[in-house]
Chain A
Amino acid sequence: MSTTTGLGQTPYSVQVGIPAAVLKPKKVRRRLDLTLWEKLYVAEIVRGLVVTSKHFFINMIGFIFPPAGKKRKVFTVYYPEEKLELPPAYRGRPVLVADADGREKCVACGLCEKMCPAHAISIVAAEKAPGERYPERYTLDLGRCVYCGYCEEVCPKEAIVMSDEYQGLAQRDRNRLRFEKEQLLRPEGKVKTRLYFVRRIYSKWNY
């Protein structure tokens, strides 16, 4: 497991989801007819009330005396103040990866442009030295992008990845959703976890 990019060797290892051993799924009763006990309703209603009031009292205690150092049991995120820590599998808007010099890694091969099902990408290629191509203009129309991630999958240079950015996409003017190369460039460190994730899921080990 070696990479030619200078990203260091920390492999991506974050557990995703709850392991099956913890969940212990309960057996589901498939019978559709109610038994006499259930037809009497009262006991079953009390059982339901016990479940909900257990949640109620546990949460009330948690609200009144918040447990020190522990995260609250309530899942609500106060959005503008708090933000979710997104998993690397999250496909936000695509960004271009910059190398150490701050220049795009993209070689303007045009694969992403070809692959894009929504025709959101358009590239104007140019040569900076003989045989060395670079995108003179790289336009990504986020009004068209469907966040499928094909561009990232097909890119041979890890030059375009799906970031965890999801804000700034509410515009009154569609022209403002057309992002140019300069707006899309992100330093490599910012998209590191996604790069590791992409290498793992698409088996991109040896580029």
Chain B
Amino acid sequence: MLADVIESLAKIVFIFTVNVGVFAPILGWVERKQSAVMQDRIGANRADILGFTAIGLFHSLADALKLLTKEDFVPANANKFFHTLAPFIALVPAIAAFAIIPFGGRYELFGREINLVIADLDVGILYVFALAGLATYGTVLAGWSSRSNWSLLGGLRASAQMLSYEVAMGLSIIGVIIVYGSLRLTDIGAIQEDFFRWGIFLQPVGFIIYMTCAIAENKRIPFDIPEAESELVAGYFTEYSGMKFVMFWMAEFLEMVTISAIVTTLFFGAWHIPFVTDAMLLSWFQGAGPNGAAALAMLVNIVVFFAKVSFFIWLQMTIRWTLPRFRYDQVMRMCWKMLLPLSLINLSITGLVVLLL
């Protein structure tokens, strides 16, 4: 019993550290630096500690210090309670969604079976959708409680967009669930040990639809009409400053990590290296004894998983710095007239093929 608690706590601390401690601050730096490199610029590199700049990494630190010491501003006549609550509602699902994502397989370590997922839920992927639906409340509440026209319009747009894309996103994932026959993400990951059963080969259309919808859910650039700078200043978080602003900002980055993790788990073989089965991996490290081999295999799988996650973060960043923003009607047309029928067709063809085979 105690060992279970310790194991769970260790996994929670690990995921929390990786997400909030590593990904969230580093992604701010990555966004600046990657956009700079893509546009033939150099990017932020001036902040230094004792003349040591660490290729601009201290800008994240400087940003954090600046935003933490800023005034916490609430507009006059705004609903102070909901105005304060909204960033929490936006941030907490972004962190909590990582609970069901397996970042490694099952390993025998010192007679204990370790399953590298915080909560191995039966409903797995549905939990992610539930939390993504909850995150909508954060943005809507932020837009409504700020008592600003820009915020309100941003919140309205966010609610319409996120509700619309939730439909197509759910339908795109159902294809994957049909193919693998399970909602549990650890099962889906385990099946993808065989390279030719990766989701990208079985559900290529589903991948494109899911990726599109996920970016739209995250409100990043091709779909950033809720926060369109040129139209709505900053959309639903126009009236936020300091720590609360950081929370929205962190929620966006963490959602990006979560999206990458789900894409990796569902479509790109989770923690597996192509053509390398778990047994092969264990046999490579046989020299380290059974426990050592399991530990090394675990390490390799975690590294592989986060390498894949990093690649999809890079892809999302590249998309964000390549494409211009869609118009509002284009966003809606794309969802209801293109993605939704496409996902329905994909779903019926998948169902037919699975039924016939």
Contact = CB atoms under 8 A, between A and B. Distances in A.
Determine if chain A interacts with chain B.
Answer: yes
B39 interface: yes
Interface of B: 34, 37-42, 208, 318-319, 321-323, 334
Contact of B208 (A42, A51, A55): A42
Interface string A22-50: 00000000000000000001100100110
Contacts of B41: 74-76
Nearest to B37: A59
Interface string A4-32: 00000000000000000000000000000
Given A74-B41, A74-B42, A53 B318 contact: yes
A73 B318 contact: no
A73 B39 CA distance: 11
Contacts of A53: 38, 318
B322 A48 contact: yes
Given A42-B208, A74-B42, A76-B42, A60 B322 contact: no
Contact of B322 (A52, A75, A76): A52
The 5 closest A-B pairs by CB, nearest first: A76-B42, A52-B322, A59-B37, A56-B38, A48-B322
Contacts of B38: 52-53, 55-56, 59
B40 A75 contact: yes
Interface residues on A, range: 10 to 19
Contact of A48 (B40, B42, B323): B323
A32 B39 CA distance: 27
A56 B42 contact: no
Given A42-B208, A75-B40, A56 B318 contact: yes
A90 interface: no
B318 A55 contact: no
B320 to A, nearest CB: 10
Given A42-B208, A49-B318, A55 B40 contact: yes
A166 interface: no
A147 interface: no
Nearest to B43: A76
B37 A63 contact: yes
A42 B222 CA distance: 13
Among B34, B37, B321, B323, chain A packs the most CB atoms within 10 A around the CB of: B37
A52 B34 CA distance: 11
A59 B37 CA distance: 6
Contacts of A63: 37
Given A42-B208, A45-B323, A52 B40 contact: no
B323 A73 contact: no
A22 to B, nearest CB: 18
Given A42-B208, A49-B318, A74-B42, A56 B323 contact: no
A49 B322 contact: yes
Contacts of B39: 55
Contacts of B37: 55-56, 59-60, 63
Contacts of B323: 45, 48
Residue from B39, B41, B322 whose CB has the most chain A CB atoms within 10 Å:
B322
A49 B318 CA distance: 7
Contacts of A45: 319, 322-323
B45 to A, nearest CB: 9
Given A45-B323, A76-B41, A52 B208 contact: no
B137 to A, nearest CB: 30
Nearest to A47: B322
Given A52-B322, A56-B34, A74 B40 contact: yes
A52 B318 contact: yes
A60 B34 CA distance: 9
A160 B208 CA distance: 65
26 contacts: A41-B334, A42-B208, A45-B322, A45-B323, A48-B323, A49-B318, A49-B319, A49-B322, A51-B322, A52-B318, A52-B322, A53-B318, A55-B37, A55-B38, A56-B37, A56-B38, A56-B318, A59-B37, A59-B38, A59-B40, A60-B37, A74-B40, A74-B41, A74-B42, A75-B40, A76-B42
A78 B266 CA distance: 45
B38 to A, nearest CB: 5
A54 to B, nearest CB: 9
Interface in A56-101: 56, 59-60, 63, 73-76
Nearest to B205: A42
Nearest to A39: B338
A42 B204 CA distance: 12
A104 B356 CA distance: 97
Contacts of A76: 41-42
Contacts of A55: 37-40
B53 to A, nearest CB: 12
A49 to B, nearest CB: 5
Nearest to B326: A41
Nearest to B42: A76
Contacts of B321: 52
Nearest to A42: B208
Contacts of B318: 49, 52-53, 56
Contact of B40 (A41, A49, A73): A73
Contacts of A49: 318-319, 322
